Structure 1
Amino acid sequence: MPVTTEIVAGGDADFMAVHHVTASGSQTEIGRALAEQARRVHGWRPQPADPVKARARRAWFARHWPQHLARMRGAAEALGLDPDDDTVHLDGAGGVPVGSACSASYYPPGRTTDGRAVLGRNYDFFTTSAEALFAMLHGRPAPEGDTGLPLSSRPHVITSIPDDGPATTVLTMNELDGAMEGVNEHGLAVALLIADAETVSAPVEAGPQVGLATAQLPRFLLDTCTTAAAALDALLGAKQYDLGVPLHYLVGDRSGDAFVWERGPGGDEHAVRSDGALCVTNHLLHRHPDPADLPEDTVESLLTYRRHRTIAERSAGGGLSAERMREALDVVRVDAATDTPYPVRTLWRSVFDLDRCTMATRFYLGDEPGGAPRYSPELEFPARTLQRV
């Protein structure tokens, strides 16, 4: 099985070191490679499981997401475990995102100058260690002498070319069998964002449940769907739960079809659409459909309303392009000068060309002495890195 791993941006002297893992072969072989990487970089170990729930999870994956189940079996091989062991969870290879202040947008081909659909996002997250972040979320001071690496300092770009499904390129902060965003070889792209910044509380530590966890949902859609319409059908038929804080998702394809997927606190489901550009930040769009009629921001809202108004204004009308998307995302990025009390930065900016099935991303490497952010050059990652044999 061809597997390559390289650092493509940053390094030990920078805020982050970005790994690019490329793997082909069976889903089991790909899962083994990802588990080995998660163990090397994050020190990942399987977490204890309730045997009844572990069996139910495997049965659900077998029925709805066999690709993930096969990768779990590969993880078991990497760790020398029985793949049917009911006492541990063989997924969740890393950690889970616990909150972020992201912005994203989708431009349909009918509104772009070159007739190609594009989807872009800023991924904004805390620059602290896991210990300091969890202390802050629970209202406690940061631990003294905290020397842990920032939770967001070792992201991975993962390109998978399986024998039995679409090739995908995904970007993940620290969970190698999930994704924050990605694209597949059919021109379908997905990005996740925190859903309701103002009312979100500390994550409920309930552990993995049956169905799709928040960071698994993008990978599930890219593994199993070719279009946004197929993705909506899949979501309407899939059991989902929040592991970490509630999220919502921007889903778009090369044809011009796109929606934001949201779930209300009572389990109600919403697919929010737009005739033009579709923009999303960190509030529920089905509750606030008009960007001209948004509440004022509070300390807790992470500037979600201001960012949404700005990006929607800059994405209005026709004559849109990937460059206009980059400009709009740069205007709403979070840096040292942004009016927020939290230690948050825009860690990367990705722009997906859905006709070419590529992800172009630049990564945050630190702040200059004057406070300006320092980024890597923009790097392009196609969903089809390897040729099928």
Structure 2
Amino acid sequence: MSENEVVAGGGDGDFMTVRHLTCRGSQTEIGRAQAEAAMATYAWKPLPAEPLRARARRIWFERNWPQHAARMRGAAAVAGVDPGSDAVFLDGLTGLPDGSACSVTFCPPAFTEEGRGLIGRNYDFFLTSAEALFALMSGEQVEDTTPPMASLPYVLTSVPDDGPATTLLTMNELDGCMEGVNEHGLAVALLIADAENTGTPELAGPQVGLSSTQLPRFLLDTCATAEEARLALLGTKQYDLGTPLHYLVADASGDAFVWERGRGGVEHIIDANDAALCVTNHLLHRHRDLAQLPEDNAETMLTYQRYRTLRERTDRARLSGTALRETLDAVRITAANAQDYPARTLWRSVLDLGSRTMSTHFYLGDDPDGAPRYSEELSFSAGAAVTVP
């Protein structure tokens, strides 16, 4: 087993400090390294569990996601508990809740000047602590004295002995991710799905199946193509703890789709159909027609406006990586358009599915004039160390 953790961006005086953890070895060894990082950074500790639910979750992971089950055994060693214990949950390597706004666009190889599939992603989130965010969503006000919940993100590069190498980016949960790419060229990004109807997240605790942030990592661990991902999602139990999310999934060949779940648990697959595929924070299966989009209101965080802009800019015949970055910057959340929400675009990523890389710059704060300040763009490869292009 080998591991290495470095500060990849930000630091003292900046809004965030980005860490890059690289692990090579068995899945159990990778799980141990990630649990040690979660304990050191987020003060993670196993949550008390209902024994029947804990046993059912462990059995489900062993049958359906053995990579995660092995990493949980590594986490058990760090926590000093029996990996077969039904008294605690051994995943959820965080101290903080999850969720996001965001904008994502996939451009298939035929639509890029590079001739490779590109995913462009803005990760939009709040600048507050977890306590202040829940108070905000509940219509209350509290004094915000604890660190912002998005201030300690991780890039996780894993090179396991028995599966695909992956590079992932996560805000706060080291056994899940917000986006990532694997060595096969499969990439996944998550977003809030229904900006008008999210409500306050339910603190129900872990359930049997995949949580919102585990779903992307499950696909990156187990699938090589978008078609494999479709089949995996249709056969997999999932839950969202009250904040519905949807996911853009794409592979190096240009095949891509958005995965959504609607009312009554109905599952929807919206295919790219050899065109650019854009998604923000409304359900695409309800709003397929660009001309019929509703107008934004105080609750939607500009989801319809951002979607219109993405569609208009990506309808061009070919788009370069540079133009894709400019498009993402045109729809980012800043002090000027945050609509009284304490939110910003916390990072911008471009995932190159041909080269299996993720290039990201990170929000460091606002200048005196309110303009956002970002780090240099850093490039991470599935299985390789960080480089600055």
TM-score by length of 2: 0.97
1:160 aligned partner: 158
1:41 aligned partner: 41
1:222-261 CA-to-partner distances (Å, cap 9, x unmatched) read 0000001000110000001113511000000110100000
Letter in 2 for 1:281: T
Report the Cα distance in structure 1 between the residues aligned to 2:146 and 2:345, rounded to whole angstroms.
Answer: 20
Report the Cα distance in structure 1 between the residues aligned to 2:51 and 2:106, rounded to whole angstroms.
Answer: 42
2:299 aligned partner: 300
SS of 1:301's partner is coil
Question: Alignment partner for residue 171 of structure 1, among 169, 172, 185?
Answer: 169
SS of 1:3's partner is strand
Report the Cα distance in structure 2 between the residues aligned to 1:246 and 1:338, rounded to whole angstroms.
Answer: 24
For the 8 Å contact 1:292–1:309, the answer to whether it is kept is: no
SS of 1:186's partner is coil
Report the Cα distance in structure 1 between the residues aligned to 2:181 and 2:134, rounded to whole angstroms.
Answer: 31
1:291-325 CA-to-partner distances (Å, cap 9, x unmatched) read 22200001001110000001110110311222221
Report the Cα distance in structure 2 between the residues aligned to 1:6 and 1:339, rounded to whole angstroms.
Answer: 32
1:146-173 CA-to-partner distances (Å, cap 9, x unmatched) read 3211000000000000000000000000
Is the counterpart of residue 86 in structure 1 residue 86 in structure 2?
yes
Is the counterpart of residue 59 in structure 1 residue 86 in structure 2?
no
The 5-angstrom pairing of residues 334-373 of structure 1 reads: 334-373=333-372
Report how many residues are paired: 384
Superposed displacement of residue 265, structure 1: 2.4
Runs of 5+ unmatched residues, structure 2: none
Runs of 5+ unmatched residues, structure 1: none
2:249 aligned partner: 251
1:199 aligned partner: 197
For the 8 Å contact 1:34–1:177, the answer to whether it is kept is: yes
Is the counterpart of residue 381 in structure 1 residue 369 in structure 2?
no
For the 8 Å contact 2:110–2:318, the answer to whether it is kept is: no
Give me the CA root mean square deviation.
1.1
Superposed displacement of residue 364, structure 1: 0.2
2:210 aligned partner: 212
Superposed displacement of residue 96, structure 1: 5.6
Report the Cα distance in structure 2 between the residues aligned to 1:57 and 1:37, rounded to whole angstroms.
Answer: 23
For the 8 Å contact 1:97–1:244, the answer to whether it is kept is: no
Bigger Cα displacement from structure 2, 98-107 vs 232-241:
98-107
Change in Cα spacing, 1:353 to 1:242, as seen in structure 2 (3 Å) is same
1:185-235 CA-to-partner distances (Å, cap 9, x unmatched) read 000000000000001110112111110000000000000000010001100
SS of 1:113's partner is coil
1:18-61 CA-to-partner distances (Å, cap 9, x unmatched) read 00000010000000000000000000111111100101001110
Report the Cα distance in structure 2 between the residues aligned to 1:153 and 1:339, rounded to whole angstroms.
Answer: 18
Superposed displacement of residue 95, structure 1: 4.5
Letter in 1 for 2:66: P
For the 8 Å contact 1:96–1:243, the answer to whether it is kept is: no
2:8 aligned partner: 8
Superposed displacement of residue 339, structure 1: 4.7
Letter in 1 for 2:357: T
For the 8 Å contact 1:98–1:245, the answer to whether it is kept is: no
Report the Cα distance in structure 2 between the residues aligned to 1:338 and 1:113, rounded to whole angstroms.
Answer: 31
Report the Cα distance in structure 2 between the residues aligned to 1:378 and 1:333, rounded to whole angstroms.
Answer: 16
Report the Cα distance in structure 1 between the residues aligned to 2:354 and 2:149, rounded to whole angstroms.
Answer: 33
For the 8 Å contact 2:169–2:179, the answer to whether it is kept is: yes
1:310 aligned partner: 309
Question: Alignment partner for residue 225 of structure 1, among 223, 226, 229?
Answer: 223
Letter in 1 for 2:155: V
Report the Cα distance in structure 2 between the residues aligned to 1:202 and 1:15, rounded to whole angstroms.
Answer: 25
Letter in 1 for 2:241: L
Superposed displacement of residue 100, structure 1: 2.4
SS of 2:290's partner is coil
2:232 aligned partner: 234
1:358-382 CA-to-partner distances (Å, cap 9, x unmatched) read 0000000000011100000000000
2:107 aligned partner: 107
For the 8 Å contact 2:309–2:331, the answer to whether it is kept is: yes
For the 8 Å contact 1:96–1:215, the answer to whether it is kept is: no
Identity between Structure 1 and Structure 2 (%) = 64
